[in-house]
Amino acid sequence: MTDRSEGLPLEALWEAPERPFDLVDRRGGAMPAALAERFPGELTIDLGRERPTIVANFVSSVDGVVALGPGKPNAGGGEISGFSDADRYMMALLRALADVVVIGAGTMRVGRRQVWTAAHIQPALAGAIAAWRAEMWLTDNPITIVVSASGNLDPAHAGFNAPDVPVIVATTSAGAERMANLPFGPNVRIATVGNETHVPAGALLEVIRGTGARLALCEGGPHLFGEILRARLVDELFLTVAPQVIGRDSSTHRLGLVEGTVFGEGRGRWASLSSIRRAGDDLFLRYRFEP
Ligand SMILES: NC(=O)c1ccc[n+]([C@@H]2O[C@H](COP(=O)([O-])OP(=O)(O)OC[C@H]3O[C@@H](n4cnc5c(N)ncnc54)[C@H](OP(=O)(O)O)[C@@H]3O)[C@@H](O)[C@H]2O)c1
């Protein structure tokens, strides 16, 4: 597959005016020159004062498909984006800003090599990313938080085996029991927070808060996103639209999969558009949800 966005800058097409400084704390701002080369302007995320801020990042096809189906190997976000280098760049910048990256077990199970750090997806920029995090007084890498009801996770997965990446598995008591006998390394901690079948978004928020994080990046998948969306805990959505029509029933492969309706029959949650960028044919949209 050709990488149609290799090396392209994420050109700013439109940005909403910034909010007054005294209302919010901020993460980000000007970035080291090596990162700014492909991202003209600044990347800044407002931080809440009452709870950790949660932003989500997804890539969607133009017909609204974000996942190619459960249990399929090689069916990750890469297949949706066409392995877009510009999309990986955006993802790296967001990971560079985050204290924690939160993923569902289903997302972890797609492949075994993923590590949820910025340097992992843009290794050539590892030095600039490290410098930027140090400037912001952040730890070397974000903590990975994996959410799982079953605890059916592979200890050999690369995401558990980077010694400088702490991992917390937020799981149910059954999940914790299942994991207890598996050979996880000392960087992996199990947080038993759920009921028998499920980790409620509020309990996940407390796990995030317990790390001291002010900014969490949720990288999906759809089920986990649905859970935190329903609890109104998503503050912003960074959505890449890839120029691909997948052409299949998107009702079971779309953003935010939950049982029943999320906000009540016939109702949705509106957001305001705060930024539009493009890299070739990829579109980068940023939406902000009011509390
Ligand atoms: N387009 C994109 O940007 C993007 C981003 C991420 C993922 N994806 C794709 O999405 C697909 C996976 O979809 P998915 O919806 O199954 O992903 P998911 O939300 O990552 O995984 C679902 C699994 O995560 C655990 N989980 C999620 N929420 C939970 C909760 N509240 N409490 C307890 N456990 C919870 C459960 O794990 P257990 O089964 O262990 O109980 C559940 O079966 C993959 O194909 C992936 O590539 C696409």
* Segment 116-130 mean pLDDT: 97
The residue whose CA has the least distance to atom 21 of ligand 1 is 106
Tokens representing 229?
């969306």
Average pLDDT, the chain: 91
**Cβ partners under 8 Å of residue 92, min gap 6:** 118, 119, 121, 122, 125, 129
- Cα-based torsion angle of the residue sequence 15, 16, 21, 27 in order, rounded to the nearest 10 degrees: -50
* pLDDT-based confidence at residue 258 (cuts at 50, 70, 90): low
Q: For 75-237, which CATH class?
A: alpha beta
State yes or no: pLDDT of 109 exceeds 80: yes
Pocket test for ligand 1, best of 90, 224, 230, 244 (most atoms within 8 A of CB): 224
State yes or no: pLDDT of 275 exceeds 50: yes
CA dist list (Å): 8 to 37, 38, 140, 285: 10, 7, 27, 17
Position 195 scores a pLDDT of 79
* pLDDT-based confidence at residue 1 (cuts at 50, 70, 90): very low
Ligand 1 — pocket residues by CB below 6 A? 58-59, 66-68, 70, 75-77, 80, 103-107, 110, 147-150, 152, 194, 198-199, 219-224, 227, 257
Residue whose structure tokens are 């989500």: 56
Backbone angles phi, psi at 193, to 5 degrees: -135, -15
Find the 107 Cα to ligand 1 centroid distance in Å: 5
Instruction: Point out the ligand 1 atom lying closest to the alpha carbon of residue 227.
Output: 31
CB 129 within 8 A of CB 93: no
Position 39 scores a pLDDT of 97
Position 257 scores a pLDDT of 59
CA nearest 111: which of 190, 221, 187, 228?
Answer: 221
The residue whose CA has the least distance to atom 3 of ligand 1 is 58
The residue ranges of every structural domain in the chain are 75-237
State yes or no: pLDDT of 19 exceeds 80: no
The residue whose CA has the least distance to atom 25 of ligand 1 is 148
Find the 85 Cα to ligand 1 centroid distance in Å: 23
3-state helix, strand, coil in the chain (%, to 5): 25, 25, 50
The residue whose CA has the least distance to atom 37 of ligand 1 is 148
The residue whose CA has the least distance to atom 9 of ligand 1 is 67
Position 184 scores a pLDDT of 97
Position 3 scores a pLDDT of 73
Find the 234 Cα to ligand 1 centroid distance in Å: 16
* pLDDT-based confidence at residue 265 (cuts at 50, 70, 90): low
Q: Which residue has the higher pLDDT, 21 or 51?
A: 51
State yes or no: pLDDT of 92 exceeds 50: yes
Which of 117-121, 242-246, 261-265 bottoms out in mean pLDDT, i.e. has the lowest? 261-265
* pLDDT-based confidence at residue 147 (cuts at 50, 70, 90): very high
Which of 60-74, 193-207, 265-279 bottoms out in mean pLDDT, i.e. has the lowest? 60-74
State yes or no: pLDDT of 251 exceeds 60: no
Which of 15-29, 152-166, 180-194 bottoms out in mean pLDDT, i.e. has the lowest? 15-29
Find the 24 Cα to ligand 1 centroid distance in Å: 31
* Segment 7-19 mean pLDDT: 92
Residue whose structure tokens are 């997948």: 246
* pLDDT tens string 170-227: 999 999 999 999 999 999 999 999 777 899 999 999 999 999 999 999 998 989 998 9
Find the 3 Cα to ligand 1 centroid distance in Å: 26
Which of 85-89, 136-140, 245-249, 269-273 bottoms out in mean pLDDT, i.e. has the lowest? 245-249
